[in-house]
């Protein structure tokens, strides 16, 4: 470590993968490591060498990564009790990983030493000191993670501080204080960090927090204010139990709120966040601070009117600073400005005092009262606006559809069938299709009717289908909202349908999806 105020240490590839639902292949880990390096992360913890075949593969392949900025770290523990450090297999594997940095953890809590390790306080300190010294003697930069440090300090300050002294005596470059159970408050973090700095003024210290009290980010910031020069965390806060300190929140706070230069280009933050979600096959958290799709979303009419005049009236930073964008939502709470701004972003011209703008606003409020929601169905809103404009032409006329579901007692597979009648270019078209379920049959029959006239719809696929019961007190007679996401391979759009019938709600969303696609293809 040199003269950078705060170093970023990413443990997504190790601690992050301990979180439920977050899994990475060896290739996934290599791809994420490359992105972290490009973004400007200082340390990338790759995993625990020898703990599983995936991590073995990662460290073998990581030698070819050619990282431009970040240092790669292998993770492990101190030597075992009563075992010479040069004979400990796990320590040997850490060296064989051939990373410039090795991070090891040791026990800071006397309870863990005596009851879990079943060894003495003196031997525990020797385990820490010996392992750090052995790794540094072999040319490695050693980061020491003081596991359960805050719990250990609250139980016995002298014992916890003594373990840090052992790591410093061994030559650790940084002493990382870990809130392993995630139960410490920011005021406690600051007080204890100040005590560490006073006791060990010549050795840099860092912070590793967990989010069990929803305080991981706040605790990391408190530690930085107390003098911490390294912050450990994961992208999007993935990790064991409720997760780790979220770097996608810490980094912009450091850079934009505290004036601490953390990364060269903060505008790439949202892209990195989405990349990690995509690679790990996780849905992005819409309400994530800074990078979420709703982080700069405005729904209330008065708010939208204000941000249209001056965005900082309801936005604490410029969305573009973190690679995000302002999002104007349309709902029953909308004012005229919501409609105009949203339409403008869609490339549709609505004049403020026009009858079309009033008609769109009235229609939105009417539909939302019926159970529609346009927040995740901007395609349906765009179509609603287009249908109020003079140049809108309906690509097909609906005449009739019929669906059936037949189940047989002899074990024969159920048969789902749909018949669709449309008017297209003055012709009456009748098609029939069987599908895997009634809605699928309806979708196939619709496409079968349209394809001879609009062959381009072969590019459209349905990528998501969600059903929600609205006001369930009517039980099976309750209204149903269907949200469909469609894609043409390069763009996706959402459409929504609401009805007492799930089939009718699906039909509305399906036909709107095709209609909007064809509107975009018009010359």
Nearest Cα neighbor of 374 from 361, 359, 364 is: 364
Number of domains in the chain: 3
Computed on alpha carbons and rounded to an integer, the radius of gyration of the chain in Å comes to: 29
And the tokens for 445? 């029959």
Contact 96, 74 (CB under 8 A): no
- Domain-embedded: residue 274: no
- Domain limit, last residue, from 243, 264, 285: 264
The reply to whether 117 and 172 lie within a common domain is yes
- Domain-embedded: residue 462: no
Cα(170)–Cα(180) distance, rounded to whole angstroms?
23
The reply to whether 360 and 403 lie within a common domain is no
Neighbours of 454 (CB within 10 A): 18
Phi, psi of 232 (to 5 degrees): -100, 145
The reply to whether 434 and 380 lie within a common domain is no
Q: Give the sheet arrangement for strand 479-487, strand by strand.
A: 461-470, 479-487, 492-499
Tell me how far apart the terminal alpha carbons of the chain are, to the nearest angstrom. Answer: 59
The reply to whether 171 and 24 lie within a common domain is yes
The reply to whether 381 and 413 lie within a common domain is no
- Domain-embedded: residue 341: yes
User: How would you write 105-120 as a 3-class SS string?
Assistant: EEECCHHHHHHHCCCC
The reply to whether 361 and 409 lie within a common domain is no
pTM score, whole prediction: 0.70
pLDDT attached to residue 333: 47
pLDDT attached to residue 4: 84
Q: What is the CATH number for 57?
A: 3.20.20.70
Query: Which ranges of 76-115 would DSSP assign to H, the alpha helix?
Result: 89-96, 110-111
And the tokens for 239? 């990790």
- Domain-embedded: residue 434: yes
pLDDT attached to residue 314: 67
Orientation of helix 186-199 relative to helix 216-225, angle to 10°: 40
- Domain-embedded: residue 505: no
The reply to whether 85 and 231 lie within a common domain is yes
pLDDT attached to residue 432: 95
Residue with tokens 């901007």: 378
Burial state string for 167-182 with b = 16 or more CB within 10 A and e = fewer than 16: bbebbbbbbbbbbbeb
Half-sphere exposure of 354 (CA within 13 A, CB side): 14
And the tokens for 10? 């990413």
Domain that holds residue 437: 396-453
Name 419's bridge partners.
Answer: 402, 432
- Domain-embedded: residue 499: no
Neighbours of 231 (CB within 10 A): 28
What are the mean pLDDT values of the chain's consecutive 10-residue runs (523 residues total)?
84 94 88 94 92 82 90 95 93 94 95 89 95 97 97 95 97 97 97 97 97 97 97 97 97 96 93 88 86 74 63 75 72 57 68 72 74 74 81 90 86 86 94 91 94 94 84 61 87 87 92 91 76
pLDDT attached to residue 467: 86
The reply to whether 129 and 97 lie within a common domain is yes
- Domain-embedded: residue 292: no
Cα(142)–Cα(291) distance, rounded to whole angstroms?
32
DSSP-assigned letter for residue 199? H
DSSP-assigned letter for residue 288? -
Cα(405)–Cα(438) distance, rounded to whole angstroms?
7
Rounded to 5°, angle at Cα 500 from 496 and 504 = 55
Cα(269)–Cα(251) distance, rounded to whole angstroms?
9
The reply to whether 45 and 148 lie within a common domain is yes
Nearest Cα neighbor of 518 from 460, 449, 435 is: 460
Cα(341)–Cα(328) distance, rounded to whole angstroms?
7
The reply to whether 308 and 415 lie within a common domain is no
And the tokens for 478? 């309750």
For the chain, what percentages of helix, strand and coil (3-state, to nearest 5) are there?
Answer: 45, 20, 35
The reply to whether 209 and 344 lie within a common domain is no
The reply to whether 434 and 379 lie within a common domain is no
Nearest Cα neighbor of 234 from 255, 256, 211, 254 is: 211
Three-class secondary structure of residue 208 per DSSP: strand
Query: Which ranges of 113-265 would DSSP assign to H, the alpha helix?
Result: 121-137, 149-155, 157-170, 186-199, 216-225, 247-252
- Domain limit, last residue, from 353, 386, 419: 386
Q: What is the CATH number for 414?
A: 3.30.160
Name 483's bridge partners.
Answer: 466, 496
- Domain-embedded: residue 501: no
Contact 54, 23 (CB under 8 A): no
- Domain limit, last residue, from 406, 426, 453: 453
């Amino acid at each position: 470590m040199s003269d950078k105020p705060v170093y970023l240490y990413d443990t997504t590839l190790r601690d992050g993968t301990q979180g439920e639902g977050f899994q990475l292949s060896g290739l996934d880990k290599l791809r994420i490591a490359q992105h972290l390096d490009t973004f400007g992360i200082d340390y990338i913890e790759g995993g625990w060498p020898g703990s599983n075949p995936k991590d073995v593969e990662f460290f073998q392949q990581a030698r070819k990564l050619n990282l431009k900025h970040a240092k790669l770290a292998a993770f492990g523990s101190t030597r075992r009790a009563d075992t010479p450090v040069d004979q400990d297999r796990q320590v040997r594997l850490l060296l064989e990983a051939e990373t410039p940095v090795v991070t090891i953890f040791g026990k800071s809590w006397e309870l863990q030493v005596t009851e879990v390790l079943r060894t003495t306080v003196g031997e525990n300190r020797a385990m820490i000191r010996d392992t750090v010294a052995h790794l540094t003697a072999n040319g490695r930069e050693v980061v020491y993670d003081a596991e359960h440090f805050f719990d250990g300090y609250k139980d016995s300050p002298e014992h916890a501080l003594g373990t840090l002294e052992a790591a410093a005596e061994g030559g650790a470059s940084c002493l990382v204080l870990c809130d392993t159970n995630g139960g410490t408050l920011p005021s406690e973090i600051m007080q204890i960090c100040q005590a560490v700095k006073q006791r060990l003024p010549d050795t840099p210290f860092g912070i590793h927090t967990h989010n069990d009290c929803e305080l991981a980010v706040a605790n990391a910031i408190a530690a930085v204010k107390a003098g911490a020069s390294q912050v450990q965390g994961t992208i999007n806060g993935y990790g064991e139990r409720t997760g780790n300190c979220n770097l996608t929140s810490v980094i912009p706070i450091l850079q934009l709120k505290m004036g601490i230069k953390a990364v060269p280009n903060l505008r790439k933050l949202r892209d990195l966040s989405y990349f990690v979600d995509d690679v790990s096959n996780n849905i992005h958290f819409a309400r994530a601070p800074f990078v979420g799709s709703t982080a700069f979303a405005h729904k209330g009419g008065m708010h939208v009117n204000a941000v249209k005049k001056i965005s900082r009236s309801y936005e604490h930073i410029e969305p573009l600073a973190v690679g995000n964008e302002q999002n104007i939502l349309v709902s029953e709470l909308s004012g005229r400005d919501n409609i105009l701004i949203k339409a403008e972003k869609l490339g549709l011209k609505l004049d403020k005092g026009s009858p079309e703008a009033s008609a769109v606003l009235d229609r939105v409020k009417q539909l939302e009262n019926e159970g529609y929601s346009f927040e995740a169905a901007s395609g349906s809103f765009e179509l609603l606006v287009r249908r109020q404009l003079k140049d809108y032409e309906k690509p097909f006329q609906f005449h009739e559809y019929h669906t059936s579901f037949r189940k047989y007692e002899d074990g024969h597979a159920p048969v789902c069938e749909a018949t669709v009648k449309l008017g297209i270019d003055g012709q009456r078209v009748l098609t029939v299709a069987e599908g895997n379920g009634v809605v699928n049959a309806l979708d196939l029959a619709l496409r079968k009717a349209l394809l001879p006239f609009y062959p381009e719809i072969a590019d459209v696929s349905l990528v998501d289908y969600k059903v929600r019961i609205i006001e369930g007190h009517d039980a099976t007679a309750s209204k149903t909202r269907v949200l469909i996401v469609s894609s043409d391979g390069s763009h996706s759009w959402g459409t929504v349908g609401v009805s007492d019938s799930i089939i009718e709600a699906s039909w509305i969303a399906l036909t709107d999806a095709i209609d909007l696609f064809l509107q975009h293809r018009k010359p």
